[in-house]
Amino acid sequence: MFIGSKRMGLRCLTAMQASGAADVAAIVTFDDRADARTVFKELHCFGETHRIPVGVVHGDASLLAAVREAEPELVIVCGWYSMISTQARALARRGFIGVHNSLLPRYRGAAPLVWALMHGENEVGLSMYTLTDGMDDGDVWAQTSTAVASDEYIGTVLERLEDACEVMIRDVYPRILDGRVTPVPQDDAMATYGTIRTPAHGRLDWGDAADAIDRAIRAQSRPYPGAFTTYEGRRLVVWRAHPFASPYYGRPGELARGPQGEMMVVCGDDRALVLDEIQIDDLQANSSSMLRPRALLGN
């Protein structure tokens, strides 16, 4: 059985089916069509093509009912955003195995890839692990990783992880079913955690160091909603930016012109960020054509 959503979940499901290692008894997802990252329609098309029933659940009770009806031997979970109850997990003889966007035990919890990029990790990855009553603390079946360049945006990194997920599932899933893989316990002493992210987490604080703000922008750019600030009382999303090479003195949050006419914002460490791509409300354009210098962005 497959439970999940989003493009990585679809790639995971595709690899499960393509492996030919076992029949997929059912697909379960939730209605995330308000999210730009949704593959709700694609999951239903996949189910129709391969004659696999697709269920849309709304909470613990309906998920429990869906698992009970499918009677799965093993459940793979990818792109799920809530804990799965002990009662549901007990219905699968070989348990539930999840795909988590981190190299466990680091970045257990919510939004692991976003938190990892915000904290400047130069390597991120995926883990297949047994779901338990705890937070992402089950035994690890497999991991795969990718390096992150200092100027990469989350969309590019996510694409590589999606490719890596498909490769990992094709390799490991059949071996799990055949009993050729033994999971390894996590080292709890090495664990770190991340909270659930809300829209407020995306607000930039120009009193922070330029490098930290740059990481926050790259970690929350497309396909995520974007890091934001305010300009003349309007929401301003910063999609792309880069640190200015020289020191730049001013009040944190102050807009200024660079020597080549570029628009930049002064940060809290006497440095500045050049705004390469912004969006004010629904208007998206080069920052130099939309912003006046010396206006102040609200923190």
Q: How confident is the model at residue 287 (pLDDT cuts 50, 70, 90)?
A: low
Last residue of a domain, one of 164, 193, 222: 193
| Residue 184 located in a structural domain | yes
Higher confidence at residue 54 or residue 285? 54
The per-residue pLDDT for range 2-28, each reduced to its tens digit, is 999 999 999 999 999 999 999 999 999
Q: How confident is the model at residue 286 (pLDDT cuts 50, 70, 90)?
A: low
Q: What span, in angstroms and rounded, lies between the C-alpha atoms of 176 and 254? A: 56
Q: What span, in angstroms and rounded, lies between the C-alpha atoms of 103 and 192? A: 11
Percent of the chain with pLDDT over 70: 95
Does one domain contain both 144 and 266? no
**Confidence at residue 30, expressed as pLDDT on a 0 to 100 scale:** 98
| Residue 294 located in a structural domain | no
The conformation of residue 199, written as its DSSP 8-state character, comes to G
Does one domain contain both 76 and 128? yes
Q: Are the CB atoms for 295 and 255 separated by under 8 Å?
A: yes
The domain of 271 spans 201-289
Whether pLDDT at 289 is above 80: no
Last residue of a domain, one of 193, 209, 240: 193
Does one domain contain both 19 and 146? yes
Instruction: For residues 267-291, give the mean pLDDT.
Output: 83
| Residue 208 located in a structural domain | yes
Does one domain contain both 74 and 139? yes
Does one domain contain both 226 and 121? no
Q: What span, in angstroms and rounded, lies between the C-alpha atoms of 231 and 195? A: 28
Does one domain contain both 219 and 176? no
Does one domain contain both 156 and 235? no
Does one domain contain both 84 and 212? no
| Residue 296 located in a structural domain | no
**For residue 222, what is the domain's CATH number?**
3.10.25.10
Across 112-116, 191-195, 229-233, least confident range: 229-233
Whether pLDDT at 172 is above 60: yes
Classify 42 as helix, strand or coil.
Answer: helix
Does one domain contain both 170 and 232? no
Q: Are the CB atoms for 227 and 238 separated by under 8 Å?
A: yes
Number of structural domains (the chain) is 2
Percent of the chain with pLDDT over 90: 93
| Residue 299 located in a structural domain | no
Does one domain contain both 127 and 208? no
**Confidence at residue 216, expressed as pLDDT on a 0 to 100 scale:** 98
> What are φ and ψ of residue 179, in 5° steps?
75, 25
Q: What span, in angstroms and rounded, lies between the C-alpha atoms of 80 and 293? A: 44
**For residue 152, what is the domain's CATH number?**
3.40.50.170
**Confidence at residue 281, expressed as pLDDT on a 0 to 100 scale:** 83
| Residue 77 located in a structural domain | yes
| Residue 298 located in a structural domain | no
| Residue 112 located in a structural domain | yes
Does one domain contain both 129 and 51? yes
Does one domain contain both 182 and 116? yes
**Burial grade of 105 (CB within 10 A; 0-12, 13-18, 19 or more):** buried
Q: What span, in angstroms and rounded, lies between the C-alpha atoms of 77 and 130? A: 10
**Confidence at residue 291, expressed as pLDDT on a 0 to 100 scale:** 76
Q: How confident is the model at residue 285 (pLDDT cuts 50, 70, 90)?
A: low
